[in-house]
Structure 1
């Protein structure tokens, strides 16, 4: 199933010790550009998070936001630095006596001094945290991928319709191109007749040569065959379930190249107008493909 590169997923998980909220959003990008924003305490899990995403997504700019709420923990402990506190109190008493300051030394004042009370964080079990986090991560990824696939199906339907429209235009060009040489021969004869009053002076061999040269230069059979082939390749490729964005981009470039060649070789204004319609549809397909994984 074809996927786009635009999507959003969100999941929440609650456990006894902590809650996790995982949000993932993605937009189109040439490669996989993965950015993770999460608490520093989870940095040890970054590699696992990256591998989980890389296993599901191959292209796109992907932003992951992970928030954590710790409900209860036995891993934190407040520590009292008695020696430092003694030093602070001694200094305060000296200042009070020196400057005859009558303010009392309060508990709230001492507790605000740096490093008198510190919090010691013990290392948490990474495996336990991962067991909780991987569930909302997977749910958010699944939601994101589902949205990308739904949009991919919408893009696929639009591309299929435009491929059908282009086929009709190519058929019209093919029909008109069959009369190019005959029409040129008639125009050439008429032009020569205008310039030369005596028709006996007309060199039929020379006219035949000019028509042959024109036929060789104006022949667009090969371009039509290749353009039809590219359309078929495009139609077949959008049915592939694996990422095909880069392949589709290449095929569309080749389609545009053949259309340009047909326009430059054809001397019929009606064919040129049909080519312009084809190029317009090709450009619309190209814009859609930019968002396909």
Structure 2
């Protein structure tokens, strides 16, 4: 499910920013980007995110930076003068010009990072507060999208229920109509052949039984009722996808058994609606 949440909190010395974003994916994939010194807390942050996500690709970025004071990058001017003197001495001795790059200043400690390698305990608390705030905003956005998707799915459920009623109404008397039609055709083709009526009717009844879709209609109603109950639960996605597969299987069976053009048309519309529902369920958790 698509979601986004961000939070920024600062103390007297530090500023923390947490950004969360997620896109649809079948399984849960959490990717964390943490500041140096916080890799040992990755499992803790993953567990917090898992409490708000069951599937999807989730990216979480945590940044912390000093506000002022001794923290940050500084230029060692005395070191810089020493380096300049050495560079000129080498150039005069070798009669070659040296190409000094920025990374050389870093390696020779001309530019230093005075931020501590291990951040103080106050930064841990700051990140925890920022993470909770970002997750709440993240959850709110996902909840709004989930409610909209469930509303759309419920409307499509009503449409599917109506189509089941149409199928049931159209299928009534279909077996009897096929029986009478086959009986008439058999009599027309075999009018010169003497047959036992009981044997003929038995064979015709077996043929007509293949057109009976009452079992499929019962299972369709059951599956739709089950799916409707699933939409009221917290976790819908994977269970809902399974139920849609079962519903589609029943519709395909019903369509193949029927020899009715109207039933075939309703089945096509039914499958089209199921495909739209499947796409929506892929966005739900």
Match for residue 280 of structure 1 among 261, 268, 272: 272
- Change in Cα spacing, 1:70 to 1:76, as seen in structure 2 (3 Å) is closer
Unpaired stretches in structure 1, ≥5 consecutive residues? 102-110
Change (3 A) 1:88 1:155: closer
CA distance, structure 1, for counterparts of residue 184 and residue 260 of structure 2: 17
The structure-2 alpha-carbon separation of the partners of 1:79 and 1:182, relative to structure 1 and needing over 3 Å to count, comes to closer
CA distance 1:262–1:79, shift in 2 (3 Å): same
Highest RCO, 1 vs 2 (Cα 8 Å, sep ≥ 6): 1
Structure 2 distance, partners of 1:74, 1:28, is 43
| 1:191 correspondence with 2:188 | no
Secondary structure at the aligned position of 2:139 is classed as helix
Q: CA deviation digits over 1:95-120, x for unaligned, max 9? A: 64787x9xxxxxxxxx9595153635
Paired position in structure 2 for 1:227 = 220
Count of residues in correspondence between the two structures? 277
Matches within 5 A, 1:1-293: 5-74=1-70, 89=85, 92-93=88-89, 96=92, 114-115=107-108, 117=110, 119=112, 121-195=115-189, 201=194, 203-241=196-234, 243-293=235-285
Task: Give the structure-2-normalised TM-score.
Answer: 0.84
Given that 2:80 and 2:110 are in contact with CA atoms closer than 8 Å, whether structure 1 keeps it comes out as: no
Asked whether the equivalents of residues 27 and 60 of structure 1 are also in contact (C-alpha less than 8 Å), the reply is yes
Does the 8 Å CA contact 1:24/1:63 hold for their aligned counterparts? yes
User: Under a length normalisation based on structure 1, what TM-score does the superposition of the two structures give?
Assistant: 0.82
* Aligned mates of 2:264, 2:90 — CA distance in 1: 97
Q: Which secondary structure does the structure 2 equivalent of 1:40 belong to?
A: coil
Question: Aligned pair in 2 of structure 1 residues 54, 208: CA closer, same or farther (>3 Å)?
Answer: same
Partners of 1:45 and 1:126 within 8 A in 2? no
Q: Aligned partners of 1:189 and 1:214: how far apart in 2? A: 11
Residues 263 and 275 of structure 1 are in contact (CA less than 8 Å); yes or no, is this contact kept in structure 2?
yes
